[in-house]
Structure 1
């Protein structure tokens, strides 16, 4: 079924809607009763709960076989990342249902960047109201990162990072996560710890920079040791951080900060606030937009908060997929 047909059904009030709920998501655990009540209020909504790789796969297969027009994901970035993998393995994005992501996890960069503001149950209630009085839907299209290494199945996600950002995510998997903090406070804690590592942790192996070679689609090569490298299809990251300033008309944003940076204290605000155009490549700050690149390194990296490991002599290729269509309420 075409995307146009699914949009027409949604606008006509005849769309078939399925929901994948991860009961282990950080926000879902805190607000489970209110979220489930809001979901139960939507007539004919097909709700499936899934919480691990196997149930994610079987649930997506079940929902696709039901020929739903809209897939509502109530979960965080990690679950959405896993669902993307199963969807891409099953179909091309043109044959997907529309996607709506309700921020139900510990970190929710993707739905927040798309414009999904509010508590999970409030967003579900907005969906219920929309379905009762449908109008032309507000749709946002974004590509997804396709990350490939030899002999490893492709990985899909919205955000890739190495260096201190990956170290910060690894820190978040430590006992600090067992405290039960979620949402903005947890995000701020991770960002502050990463910032501390950036400023003071260069000599500590746990917070060391990453040595890598990044080759752009046009053949330009960046080789060195970097505090961090970010690649994203998102415009804003956690806490509304906007560390990109490339002007090229390409879908993926890339930023590198060299270990030999200058004036880091003075550069932090423009680097994080979207004012990076004042930073200079000669001083260790570089950002551009592209559709494809290759990275060679022997280190850990993250995709949407999930930790992976690269291998020597095993280049990582990152490319933009065709756009995915999201419903935003």
Structure 2
């Protein structure tokens, strides 16, 4: 991997033209990318198309890849590098992450603070000997689902999958920019506070086994796993102790008094909020096994079976890494 201070010999630029920010500025992105010296600009939206481009870049031994896309685009690239091409991270090109999608939680959590056009201008300056992007080292989540594995940053089940579906079906085309995911998150949060029966709160049968021997079996409202400690809107839902790259949080269907406990949990005070209360679980671990009675999501993309199914496929989640990333912070004009 390229040293963080030296410019790459060839900077590959992958743009997902279907991602939110990229879609809205696509013509300007194309013009700006043409101004980056020693670069190879390509567009791809689906994993199959990204695979074709990535295979050529790996064959050409490009030194760096700038990713202009959302959380799903970055997830697809990570999965291809780790699973399809089975490359150890030390053999990867430098990955320069830019939030070009709608939610961009992964890019922000890694420290990226620039939009695609700003990032391309910063990359052009870097190629001319200007300021280099900052190096960030962070693990990812690997989810093995039978014989297939995917890699990303934020796994969710239960109400989190319902929240993603609500955004995709009701808000994606109605609310522009990052306010769509934020409104979906707030709607889900308010629904959880009220409790009771609601389409956004399916009682999902779950079985969970942690590395340290903790286990859960029963109906749950939601389960979240991430290598990030801070999620959308600054939420900090992981309060459990332990050693490991994965933070885990689970809320049972009968967890008491979510109306006052859940706000404290998301503010990072979960240990105090759940003391003595059953139905709440959190830990840090290197791996876990999980069975869910419905589908699951990874970085905003939905996978798995339909809601109401009986758990029949065990998922294995592990922390992989750490992996080197590059990000541009705020750029002053």
The question of a shared fold, defined as TM-score above 0.5 by the shorter chain, is answered with yes
Q: Distance in 1 between matches of 2:209 and 2:251?
A: 15
Equivalences for residues 1-329 of structure 1 within 5 A? 3=1, 6-7=2-3, 11-88=5-82, 89-90=84-85, 91-134=87-130, 138-150=134-146, 152-179=147-174, 181-183=176-178, 185-200=179-194, 202-280=196-274, 282-283=276-277, 284-310=279-305, 312-329=311-328
The alignment of Structure 1 onto Structure 2 pairs a total of residues equal to: 321
Q: Distance in 2 between matches of 1:136 and 1:40?
A: 19
Deviation per residue, 1:214-241 (Å, 9 max, x gap): 1001222112222211000122211222
User: Which stretch shows the higher mean deviation, 58-67 or 119-128?
Assistant: 119-128
Whether the aligned pair in 1 keeps the contact of 2:157 and 2:292 (CA below 8 Å) is: no
> CA separation in 2, counterparts of 1:67 and 1:322?
22
Contact kept? 1:202, 1:209, Cα under 8 Å: no
Change (3 A) 1:14 1:202: same
Give the whole-Å Cα distance in 2 for the aligned partners of 1:263 and 1:49: 48
- Please state whether the residue corresponding to 1:178 is helix, strand or coil: coil
Q: Unpaired segments of 5 or more residues in structure 1?
A: none
2:6·2:132 contact (CA, 8 Å) conserved in 1? Answer: no
Cα distance, 1:19–1:136 mapped onto 2, change above 3 Å:
closer
Distance between the aligned counterparts of 1:248 and 1:116, measured in 2?
A: 28
SS class of match (1:174): helix
TM-score by length of 2: 0.90
Contact 1:20 1:47 in 2 (8 A): yes
SS in 2 for 1:322: strand
What SS is found at the alignment partner of 2:243?
coil
- After superposition, the Cα gap between the structure-2 partners of 1:214 and 1:32, relative to the gap in structure 1 and judged at 3 Å, is same
Q: Distance in 2 between matches of 1:99 and 1:140?
A: 10
Structure 1 position 134, deviation (Å)? 4.9
CA root-mean-square deviation:
2.0
Q: TM-score when scaled to structure 1?
A: 0.91
- Post-superposition Cα deviations, 1:254-308, rounded to whole Å, max 9, x if no partner, equal 1112222223222233211222232225323322111100002221110111111
Q: Once the 2 structures are TM-superposed, how far is the Cα of residue 202 of structure 1 from its aligned partner? A: 3.8
**Relative to structure 2, which stretch is displaced further, 269-278 or 185-194?**
269-278
Unaligned runs of 5+ in 2: 329-333
Cα gap change, 1:274 to 1:38, in 2 (>3 Å): farther
Comparing 228-237 with 196-205, greater Cα deviation is found at 196-205
